[in-house]
Structure 1
Amino acid sequence: MSSASMQVAASSGLLSVAMFVVGVVLVTILAGSFWLGARIKQRELPRPRPDEQPHLPPDGPVHEVREYREPDEVPRMPKGGRALTPYELSNMQTRPSTSKERRRWSPGSSGSFGGGGLGGH
Structure 2
Amino acid sequence: AEEVLRLGAQVDDLAERAAVLRAAGDGGGGASTGAGAAAGDDGGGDAATAYRVINADLSKISIALDALDVGGEEFLRELRREQLQRIDALERELAAAREVIPEVAAVAAEDEARVAMLEAASGKAGTL
Fold match by TM threshold 0.5: no
Look at both structures and tell me which one has the larger radius of gyration over its CA atoms: 1
Which one has the bigger helix percentage?
Answer: 2
TM-score, structure 2 as length reference: 0.23
TM-score of the aligned structures, taking structure 1 as reference length = 0.24
